[in-house]
Amino acid sequence: MNNNKKIDISIVIPLFNEEQSLVELVEWIKRSVEPLMCNYEIIMIDDGSTDNSWKVITELSQKHKEIKGIKFIRNYGKSAALQVGFTHAEGEVVITMDADLQDSPEEIPELYRMIKEENFDVVSGWKLKRYDPLISKRIPSKIYNFVVRKISGIYLHDMNCGLKAYKNIVVKSIEVYGEMHRYIPVLAKNAGFKRIGEKVVKHYERKYGTSKFGVERFIRGPLDLMTVMFITHFSKRPMHFFGVWGLIMFFLGGVLTVYLLAEKVYKSLNNLPTRDVTDKPHFYLAIAAIIIGVQLFLAGFIAELISRTSPERNKYIIEKKTF
């Protein structure tokens, strides 16, 4: 590897309590990447591990100059780790993968080729044959990916696959926070990068440890999807969402109020039996609709004010680095 050249590939690996797999993973990556005869870096982000992961990363970085380590002071989540990795990535092509040895580094050369030669902005891995539990992972994953495809318009079979490749400009143009790592292709498309491809990749059984994602992902997943779709369509113009619904509610409330008053006046003028407007349930529905309409308008104005600022969502305390 020629150190005088720019970095061609950045391999970003977020991890949490994966001390047993790291040495084997690094050797596997080196065997897979070095035949390409290009400059590469491996960025390992220790997301507040409580085992000896950071000690192993430190030792590896001293042994292999390609390895860079970043340690969070506590666990912030995979999205935070990826965002920091993206910030530090210098390679023309950025590849993400998990540290649990279920993603194969042997896929890296082809992912790199698809970005460089076929000019994809994003290439997402597709674990066609999975070794995860059927009930707890594979079936929910199929349902999840079907829903995401229909809503986002991005026809990937495995949106949540950790093995992906990006042009550097893509990862520098998006912000990943909260639990948004599942929807990076959607964020990329929203940022204007529409050449999104897919590659079938090998998937292996977990060799060490246990999965770090529990049943809470079934709740967070749909909520995150709604957040992403809202941000995708209305982050720059929130009044277009809140304002439209505010107008609808205000209009319905106003029409119902006018109808009740007109009915009262008509029956009074014609000596017809009538009740007080406030005795009718429609009156309270009208008032509620008007109040909701006003609240939606106010929410829209506040959101517009907030969108004019640039809050720093990704403030993560990095405890240590190895570079």
pLDDT digits (tens, 9 = 90+) for 19-70: 999 999 999 999 999 999 999 999 999 999 999 999 999 999 999 999 999 9
Give dist(CA 96, CA 182) in Å, integer: 12
Give dist(CA 49, CA 91) in Å, integer: 26
Give dist(CA 39, CA 6) in Å, integer: 7
Give dist(CA 201, CA 111) in Å, integer: 10
Residue 221 sits in a domain whose CATH number is: 3.90.550.10
Give the residue numbers spanning the domain of 247. 239-307
Burial class of residue 265 in the structure, from the number of CB atoms within 10 Å of its CB (0-12 exposed, 13-18 middle, 19+ buried):
exposed
Banded pLDDT at 86 (limits 50, 70, 90): very high
User: Does some domain include residue 54?
Assistant: yes
Banded pLDDT at 147 (limits 50, 70, 90): confident
Give dist(CA 174, CA 170) in Å, integer: 7
Name the average pLDDT for the chain: 85
User: Does some domain include residue 209?
Assistant: yes
Q: Among all chains, which residue has been given the structure tokens 């619904």?
A: 245
Give dist(CA 60, CA 66) in Å, integer: 9
User: Does some domain include residue 323?
Assistant: no
Query: Is 121 in the same domain as 186?
Result: yes
Query: Is 301 in the same domain as 204?
Result: no
Query: Is 140 in the same domain as 190?
Result: yes
Query: Is 101 in the same domain as 167?
Result: yes
Query: Is 30 in the same domain as 99?
Result: yes
Q: Look at residues 190, 217, 235 and tell me which one is the last residue of a structural domain.
A: 235
Give yes or no for residue 154 having a pLDDT over 70: yes
Which of 1-15, 18-32, 50-64, 307-321 shows the lowest mean pLDDT across its residues? 307-321
Query: Is 169 in the same domain as 265?
Result: no
Query: Is 164 in the same domain as 289?
Result: no
Give dist(CA 44, CA 22) in Å, integer: 10
Output the pTM of the full model: 0.74
Query: Is 25 in the same domain as 67?
Result: yes
Share of the chain above pLDDT 70, in %: 85
What integer pLDDT is reported at residue 2 of this predicted model?
A: 47
Residue ranges in the chain assigned as alpha helix (H): 22-33, 53-63, 78-88, 108-116, 139-152, 168-173, 184-190, 217-234, 239-269, 281-307
Query: Is 231 in the same domain as 288?
Result: no
What integer pLDDT is reported at residue 123 of this predicted model?
A: 96
Q: Look at residues 205, 235, 265 and tell me which one is the last residue of a structural domain.
A: 235
Structure tokens at 244: 């439209």
Please report the sign of the dihedral spanned by the C-alpha atoms of residue 250, residue 256, residue 258, residue 264: negative
What integer pLDDT is reported at residue 85 of this predicted model?
A: 96
User: Does some domain include residue 30?
Assistant: yes
Q: Among all chains, which residue has been given the structure tokens 């292709």?
A: 185
Give yes or no for residue 191 having a pLDDT over 90: no
Sheet hosting strand 93-96, strand order edge to edge: 196-200, 122-126, 164-167, 93-96, 9-15, 40-46, 67-72, 318-321
Q: What's the domain count of the chain? A: 2
Q: Look at residues 174, 200, 235 and tell me which one is the last residue of a structural domain.
A: 235
Give yes or no for residue 210 having a pLDDT over 90: no
Closest C-alpha to 79, from 194, 192, 227, 195: 227
Structure tokens at 22: 């790291």
Query: Is 259 in the same domain as 193?
Result: no
User: Does some domain include residue 111?
Assistant: yes
Give the tens place of pLDDT for each residue, 87-129.
999 999 999 999 999 999 999 999 999 999 999 999 999 988 7
Closest C-alpha to 201, from 141, 111, 135: 111
Give dist(CA 320, CA 85) in Å, integer: 14
Distances from the Cα of 170 to the Cα of 21, 120, 149, angstroms: 29, 11, 20
- Mean pLDDT across the stretch 174-190? 86
Higher pLDDT, 45 or 245: 45
User: Does some domain include residue 314?
Assistant: no
User: Does some domain include residue 320?
Assistant: no
Partners of 124 in beta bridges: 164, 198
Query: Is 136 in the same domain as 32?
Result: yes
Give dist(CA 55, CA 259) in Å, integer: 74
Please report the sign of the dihedral spanned by the C-alpha atoms of residue 273, residue 276, residue 277, residue 283: negative
> What residues contact residue 140 under an 8 Å CB cut-off, 6+ apart?
218
Query: Is 248 in the same domain as 195?
Result: no
User: Does some domain include residue 73?
Assistant: yes
What integer pLDDT is reported at residue 132 of this predicted model?
A: 63
